[in-house]
């Protein structure tokens, strides 16, 4: 029970008169009112007890605790009811004795704990003299250092700048960008289509690529009918460059009647490989058939882990071909029990990470079997160290369209690499020219618009 | 060759390819509905193809076939793989995701070990050895290229390697409470390293540019040839 209130009013027979007037305990406020009501005798009090309080009078037969509890509940309910009844309260104000009238509101409190929580106008038990003191005087002036003041000023200025609306210039910029974009596209389009339409070779032969020469020499040194592991590890998005570069190498291998075992660590790789072989069959007049001339083992899942697994146990990791046939018992594959049994490994990829995975996970297990990389020009700078190092980790490198074109020309053949060579060269020159013009323009513009400090 | 020489499937493929190429190129005029449609088609087709490929090339031969017709050992192995894969699958459900943690931990552990082992033994050691071999004096005279060229090549590689490594050294010291700064000689060498890095990025950009231009030229050539094919008798 909280000590914030004095719950004696409801149970005390002395203040029965006061209850009759007010009808609620909380409105018998000061000691003066108690003194007035204390003169009544017990008999008179019983008669004047209101009906609603009759039940609250303790029964002598019941125990003190039970009586007190039930009375407290009733007391609380009554207090809540009376707090809402404003009209009764106004009447009561008139009936109060003169000395009490001014004091009742000031001396009451709002109960913070106990069963009367939230009820206003309840008498406190006693005033605590320790809490009565003069209020502490605090300065309302903000105490900041000079630096803090400056920083606050700066922040204020910055925020002001953000709030202020800027004049819109985006519209004109967007229009000029569109025009620029379309203009550049037309310029590049013309530069590509011009050699095709006029059949005028801009550059007759691709530049000499020593890497392609060594790859060619390596392939030529391998006897006809050898078994070659061919990895088609590039995405369809870069198939234009990769197909052209790889086609020149695979075309030569098909001429030499190599048995090709196709794998890929890219899900779309197997179908890319099939497509390439169909293309070369049409172009070169070959009759390369699945299982007779080549086997497509499909997709090696698991990235570098899968690759390592395949390098260690190719038969167990890839037991079936794309059609679900068990292929390792067919005549050309019978002799292959480990990856070093292949006569050559050719990896075609546009991704330097995949190329690195092949070098790191597979090449150490190849033994004397050479490995050739056919890579995109974008991957070539990162793959070259493996080729150029001494001892070299890869034995041949055909890089991009140029490498493929040179490979074809060195074998006195013509293919897609030779076909597009002029167009690509002119487009590269045109693109380079555009970049140069752009750089000069923007440098000039920035020099002109630069404000003197 | 005219359009009538193509069989139905080839013709359909060529028309689709031609149409999609034009739709993708329409991005020149800004983002549009057709471009977005083509992108959705590509994403959908790729996802569908990968799902089919995974089923036929991985799940079927690695789990289903051994479970149905494999030996006792093969069945046990396939069952183990299936259970562990299921644990990985239920990571999609937040309440049960904890079951998949051991499998993920195993995959990450094995993957990391494989990659680090491969990088150290397959790239780091061989490349360090190759860099040392560049200064193998007796070996220089055995090669066909001039010795001075080989030595200058070796020096450039050595300077490039060291300066780039130093560029990524971010240690600094504070003298008498002043702002911490790199040592002067480290800053100077790091500048050289920065030049090498810039050249490398330039070369990489050139490679990407050539690859992109090749793809563009191939598509344009195909488009032009297809249009010519339509008008050829």
Residues in chain A within 8 Å Cβ distance of B118: 304, 308, 357, 360-361
In this structure, of A327-341, B172-186, B208-222, the range with the lowest mean pLDDT score is B172-186
Contact at 8 Å (CB) between A241 and A378?
no
Find the residue in A nearest to B115 (Cα): A304
Per-residue pLDDT tens for B154-180? 999 999 999 999 999 888 777 766 777
**Cα–Cα separations (whole angstroms), residue A199 to A194, A421, B155:** 8, 12, 46
Averaged pLDDT for residues A218-224: 92
Where among A76, A106, A129 does a domain terminate?
A129
Contact (Cβ atoms closer than 8 angstroms) between residue A431 and residue B220:
no
Residue with tokens 């890579």: A375
Residues A137-153: pLDDT tens digits? 777 777 788 888 888 88
- Is the pTM higher than 0.95? no
As a whole number of angstroms, the distance between CA B123 and CA B110 comes to: 19
Q: Same structural domain for residues A264 and A391?
A: yes
- When mean pLDDT is compared across A6-10, A178-182, B114-118, the lowest value belongs to A6-10
| Domain termination site, one of A99, A129, A159 | A129
Report if residue A203 sits inside a domain: no
Give domain status of residue A422, yes or no.
yes
My answer on whether A237 and A370 are in the same domain is yes
Is residue A270 less than 8 Å (CB to CB) from chain B?
yes
Provide the shortest C-alpha distance from residue B174 to chain A (in Å): 25
Residue A394 in any domain: the answer is yes
- Nearest residue, CB atoms, A267 vs list B50, B133, B204: B50
One domain for residues A223 and A116: no
Q: How far is A408 from chain B (nearest CA, A)?
A: 17
CA–CA dist A84, A88 (Å, integer): 9
Express each pLDDT in B7-43 by its tens digit: 788 888 889 999 999 999 998 888 899 999 999 999 9
How far is B214 from chain A, CA to nearest CA, in Å?
6
Residues of B in contact with A382 (CB under 8 A): 204
**Are A122 and A236 in the same domain?**
no
Tens of pLDDT, residues A112-123: 666 777 777 666
A44 vs A272, more confident:
A272
* Residue A336 distance to chain B (closest CA, Å): 20
> Given an 8 Å threshold on Cβ–Cβ distance, is A240 in contact with B215?
yes
Q: Do B58 and A299 touch (CB under 8 A)?
A: yes
B-facing residues of A in 36-75 (CB < 8 A) are none
pLDDT score for A54: 58
For residue A310, is it within any domain? yes
Domain of residue A308 covers 210-433
| Closest CB from B28, B61, B121 relative to A182 | B28
The encoded tokens of residue B16 equal: 């689709």
Quick one: A385 and A272 in the same domain? yes
Q: What is the pLDDT of residues A317-327, one digit of tens each?
A: 888 888 888 88
pLDDT digits (tens, 9 = 90+) for B186-217: 999 999 999 999 999 999 999 999 888 888 88
In a domain? residue A169: no
Greater confidence (A76 vs A274) lies with: A274
Q: Are A276 and A247 in contact (CB under 8 A)?
A: yes
Q: Is A380 in Cβ contact with B217 (below 8 Å)?
A: no
Spatial neighbors of A61 by CB under 8 A, at least 6 apart, are none
- How many Cα atoms are found within 13 Å in the side-chain-facing hemisphere of A387? 22
Q: Please answer yes or no on whether A378 and B54 come within 8 Å at the CB atom.
A: no
Q: Which of B213, B218, B219 sits opposite A428 (nearest CB)?
A: B213
In chain A, the number of structural domains is: 2
Contact B133 A360 (CB under 8 A): no
Please report whether residue A191 resides in a domain. no
What pLDDT shows up at residue A194? Answer: 83
Residue B177 DSSP code: T
The rounded distance, in Å, linking the Cα atoms of A27 and A278 is 104
Q: Any CB–CB contact under 8 A between A321 and chain B?
A: no
Q: Is the peptide bond before B156 cis (omega within 30 degrees of 0)?
A: no
Contact with chain B for residue A2, Cβ under 8 A: no
Distance of CA A279 to the CA centre of its chain: 42
Mean pLDDT calculated for residue range B49-66: 89
**CA distances from residue B201 to A164, A382, A385 in whole angstroms, order as listed:** 40, 11, 16
Average pLDDT of span A163-192 = 76
The better pLDDT of the pair A113, A374 is held by A374
Q: Which of A68, A100, A129 corresponds to the end of one domain?
A: A129
Q: How far is A328 from chain B (nearest CA, A)?
A: 15
pLDDT in tens, A14-61: 444 444 444 444 444 444 444 444 444 444 444 556 666 655 555 554
Q: Give the rounded distance of the alpha carbon of B184 from its chain centre.
A: 38
Contact: A237, B29; criterion CB under 8 Å = no
Is residue A420 less than 8 Å (CB to CB) from chain B?
yes
């Amino acid at each position: 029970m909280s000590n914030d209130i004095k719950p004696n009013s409801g149970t005390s027979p002395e203040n029965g008169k006061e209850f009759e007037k007010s009808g609620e305990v909380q409105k018998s406020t000061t000691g003066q009112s108690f003194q007035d009501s204390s003169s009544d005798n017990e008999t008179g009090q019983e008669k004047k007890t209101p009906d609603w309080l009759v039940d609250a009078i303790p029964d002598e037969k019941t125990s003190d605790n039970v009586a007190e509890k039930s009375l407290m509940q009733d007391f609380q309910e009554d207090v809540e009811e009376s707090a809402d009844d404003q009209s009764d309260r106004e009447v009561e104000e008139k009936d109060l004795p003169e000395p009490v009238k001014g004091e009742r509101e000031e001396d009451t409190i709002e109960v913070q704990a106990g069963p009367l929580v939230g009820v206003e106008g309840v008498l406190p038990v006693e005033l605590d003299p320790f809490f009565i003191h003069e209020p502490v005087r605090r300065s309302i002036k903000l105490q900041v250092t000079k630096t803090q003041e400056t920083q606050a000023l700066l922040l204020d200025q910055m925020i002001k700048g953000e709030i202020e609306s800027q004049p819109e210039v985006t519209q004109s910029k967007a229009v000029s960008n569109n025009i620029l974009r379309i203009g550049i596209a037309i310029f590049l389009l013309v530069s590509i289509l011009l050699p095709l339409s006029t059949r005028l070779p801009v550059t007759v032969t691709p530049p000499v690529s020593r890497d392609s020469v060594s790859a060619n020499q390596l392939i030529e040194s391998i006897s006809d009918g050898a078994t070659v592991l061919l990895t088609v590890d590039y995405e369809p998005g870069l198939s234009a460059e990769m197909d052209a570069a790889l086609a020149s190498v695979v075309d030569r291998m098909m001429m030499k009647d190599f048995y090709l075992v196709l794998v890929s660590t890219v899900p779309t790789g197997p179908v890319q490989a099939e497509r390439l072989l169909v293309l070369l069959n049409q172009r070169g007049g070959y009759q390369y058939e699945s299982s007779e001339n080549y086997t497509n083992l499909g997709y090696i899942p698991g990235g570098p882990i899968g690759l390592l697994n395949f390098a260690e146990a190719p038969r167990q990791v890839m037991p079936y071909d794309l059609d679900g046939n068990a292929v390792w018992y067919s005549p050309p594959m019978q002799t292959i029990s480990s990856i070093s049994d292949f006569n050559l490994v050719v990896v075609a990829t546009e991704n330097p990470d995949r190329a690195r995975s092949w070098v790191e996970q597979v090449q150490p297990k190849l033994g004397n079997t050479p490995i050739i990389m056919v890579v995109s020009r974008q991957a070539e700078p990162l793959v070259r160290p493996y080729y150029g190092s001494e001892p070299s980790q890869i034995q041949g490198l055909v890089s991009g369209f140029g490498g493929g074109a040179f490979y074809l020309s060195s074998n006195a053949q013509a293919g897609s690499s030779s076909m597009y060579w002029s167009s690509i060269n002119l487009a590269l020159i045109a693109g380079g020219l555009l970049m140069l013009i752009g750089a000069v323009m923007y440098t000039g513009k920035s020099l002109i618009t630069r404000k003197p400090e | 060759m005219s359009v009538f020489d193509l069989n139905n499937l080839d013709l359909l493929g060529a028309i689709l390819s031609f149409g999609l190429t034009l739709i993708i190129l329409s991005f020149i005029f800004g983002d549009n509905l057709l471009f977005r449609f083509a992108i959705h088609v590509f994403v959908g087709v790729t996802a569908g193809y990968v799902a089919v490929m995974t089923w036929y090339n991985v799940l079927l031969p690695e789990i289903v076939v051994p479970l149905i017709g494999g030996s006792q050992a093969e069945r046990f192995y396939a069952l183990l793989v299936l259970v562990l894969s299921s644990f990985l699958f239920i990571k999609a459900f937040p309440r049960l995701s904890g079951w998949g943690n051991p499998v993920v931990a195993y995959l990450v552990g094995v993957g990391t070990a494989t990659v680090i082992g491969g990088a150290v033994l397959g790239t780091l050691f061989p490349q360090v050895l190759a860099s040392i071999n560049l200064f193998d004096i007796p070996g220089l005279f055995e090669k066909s290229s001039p010795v001075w060229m080989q030595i200058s090549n070796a020096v450039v590689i050595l300077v490039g390697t060291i300066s780039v490594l130093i560029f990524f050294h971010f240690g600094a010291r504070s003298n008498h409470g002043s702002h911490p700064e790199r040592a002067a000689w480290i800053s100077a060498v790091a500048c050289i390293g920065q030049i090498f890095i810039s050249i490398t990025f330039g070369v990489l950009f050139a490679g990407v540019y050539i690859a992109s231009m090749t793809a563009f030229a191939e598509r344009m050539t195909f488009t032009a040839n297809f249009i010519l094919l339509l008008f050829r008798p």
